[in-house]
Amino acid sequence: MKKFTICAAIAAMTLLSGSKASASVFEANDNSLAIRPVLSLDVTCPGDTKIDDIAKLEEFKSGAGLSFGAVADVPLWMNMYLETGLKFYYHTVKINDKVFDYAGSGDDLTPVSGSMREFGFTIPLLVGYHFDFDPVRIHIFTGPEFSVGLSGKGHMKYAIGN
C-alpha cells in the first residue's frame, strides 16, 4: 500500500507540474486524425492444459512472432480517441520436449522437436486517452481486439533409427 501511495503522489505531481499549463496536459488543441504504421515483436506464452482436477499437461513453451499493419487514431473528445486499424500477425509456440518422451511410434521415426505456427489478422477497437507533456505523450487505452486466424500448422522434426 505504501508503494501505491508513493506512486500516486509522484503521478499527481507530474501531472500538476511541467513547463506547460496543466490544462494543456488534459486538453490538446492539435487533436486530428493520425494514421501510423505498426511493427512489433510478439511473445506468445501459452498456459497449461488442465484435465478437470486430475492432471495438468505442459504441452507448449513460449515462442516468438511478428505483427505489422496500420492503425488510425480518431479523435473523440478532448484527448480521448478511438484506435482502429488492421494488423497481420505470425505467431509460434514450441512443443515441450517432455511430450516427445511419451511419443514413441514403434517404428524407425521418433519425434524430436516441433512447433505450432499461426498466421492471421487483428482489428483493434481501443478507446484511449493521452496526456500531453512538453516533449512526450503518455497514452492509456483499453478495449477489445478481434482476431481472425487464416492459417494454423504444426511442424515436427523426426529422427530416423534408434
Find all residues with CB under 8 Å of 157, minimum gap 6, and list them.
111, 112, 113, 114
Q: For the segment 55-85, what is each residue's pLDDT rounded down to a tens digit?
A: 666 677 778 889 999 999 888 888 888 889 9
Judge whether 105 and 126 are in contact, CB under 8 Å: no
| CA dihedral over 73, 75, 81, 84, signed as positive or negative | negative
**In this predicted structure, what is the pLDDT of residue 154?**
79
> Can you read off the three cell numbers belonging to residue 153?
500448422
pTM assigned to the model: 0.62
**In this predicted structure, what is the pLDDT of residue 125?**
92
**In this predicted structure, what is the pLDDT of residue 121?**
94
Largest Cα separation within the chain, whole Å, is 75
Judge whether 51 and 60 are in contact, CB under 8 Å: no
- Over residues 42-54, mean pLDDT: 73
Average pLDDT, the chain: 75
Q: For a pLDDT cut of 70, what percent of the chain falls above it?
A: 60
Higher pLDDT, 50 or 138: 138
**In this predicted structure, what is the pLDDT of residue 30?**
65
Higher pLDDT, 38 or 98: 38
- Over residues 112-130, mean pLDDT: 86
Higher pLDDT, 95 or 126: 126
Find all residues with CB under 8 Å of 45, minimum gap 6, and list them.
62
**In this predicted structure, what is the pLDDT of residue 14?**
54
Q: How confident is the model at residue 91 (pLDDT cuts 50, 70, 90)?
A: confident
Residue 156 CB-half CA count within 13 A: 10
Nearest-angstrom CA–CA distance, 84 and 103: 44
Higher pLDDT, 66 or 42: 66
Q: How confident is the model at residue 22 (pLDDT cuts 50, 70, 90)?
A: very low
